[in-house]
Amino acid sequence: MKILHISDLHFPKKLSLFSLRGKAIVGYLSYRLRRKSKHPLVLIAAMVNAISKLEYDALIISGDLTNVSHPGEFENAKEILKPLLTDKTFLIPGNHDRYQKRAIGPSPLFEKTFGEWIGTSLDPNSYIRSKKIGGKLFIGWDSNFAVPRITANGYVAPEIIEKTTSSVKEPYILVCHHPLWNPKTEIESRGHRMLNRSEVVNKLKANPPELYLHGHTHTNWIKLPGPKAPFAIVNSASSTRLSDRSHECGFHMIEIGKSTSYRRFIYSEDKFIETNPIFYEESEGVI
């Protein structure tokens, strides 16, 4: 089973300020000033091209397809991803896809746009979605919530963790936007972290996933299984952001067989090339 994992695509889309409300105005202006140039169209085209040439069984996208959850951004994301949206694809939302209350509402924009590729719901009262791809079970969580202030925190309710660990009866791969572990050199700030990450890790021990796939922190790493989290934690964000001193643009191909192997692809001179993955032991970071 070959799993291709990309994340934090943050597709650029020009929006009219008149179409924005509340914190989306500030969020959009800050994105135009600080982040727009970091996600150039040439890189996005190179990523879609690189993925189309790779052989894989499942394509996982762990959220942040948009910037301020504007309807126009969702349509744009779907249009760009069109060649990659198949029965092999499984997506979950990131905090930028739940940025405003109006994106959630009774008919959430993420579900409305990507409903075909988000799996089926395991629980009517919470976001636990599952999809079988090539015989492998993928479970998706939504760790995001829209608040009036600009924060990027995540949270997964204990009931969601318990429901997942008690109802899933076969090996599974868990996909969720926020990291559960960070290297000591890249600690998450107070407004950018999964608030109850140690609770999530502890409760998952009842029935741990084979892998935890996430994004949110825009750089790549793999935390190997350890005593606290007995599963690998893979960060493939951001797959469309130009690399700089503290962010590396890339994505992973994970092959699960008798053992698990990892390949990493990074953007270099207008194309994606293969390079060494970045591995950490659990003790080299914190939950």
Work out whether 73 is an interface residue with Fe ion (CB under 5 A).
no
| Structure-token match 């107070």, residue found | 190
**Count of residues touching Fe ion (by CB under 5 A):** 5
Q: In what order do the strands lie in the sheet with 271-275?
A: 89-91, 58-61, 2-6, 250-256, 260-268, 271-275
Closest CB to Fe ion among residues 62, 226: 62
What is the CA angle 147-131-82, rounded to 5? Answer: 75
What number of other Cβ atoms are within 10 A of residue 226's Cβ? 18
With contacts defined by CB under 5 A, name the span among 60-68, 80-88, 220-228, 252-260 that binds Fe ion: 60-68
Position among 3, 8, 211, 213 found at the interface with Fe ion (CB under 5 A): 8
| Cα–Cα distance, 264 to 275 (Å, whole number) | 6
What is the CA angle 6-97-203, rounded to 5? Answer: 70
Work out whether 216 is an interface residue with Fe ion (CB under 5 A).
yes
Closest CB to Fe ion among residues 151, 207: 151
Closest CB to Fe ion among residues 212, 226: 212
With contacts defined by CB under 5 A, name the span among 109-117, 125-133, 211-219, 246-254 that binds Fe ion: 211-219
Query: Which positions from 145 through 164 interact with Fe ion, judged by CB under 5 A?
Result: none
With contacts defined by CB under 5 A, name the span among 3-11, 36-44, 107-115, 195-203 that binds Fe ion: 3-11
Work out whether 94 is an interface residue with Fe ion (CB under 5 A).
yes
Closest CB to Fe ion among residues 132, 192: 192
CB of 190 to Fe ion, least distance (A): 15
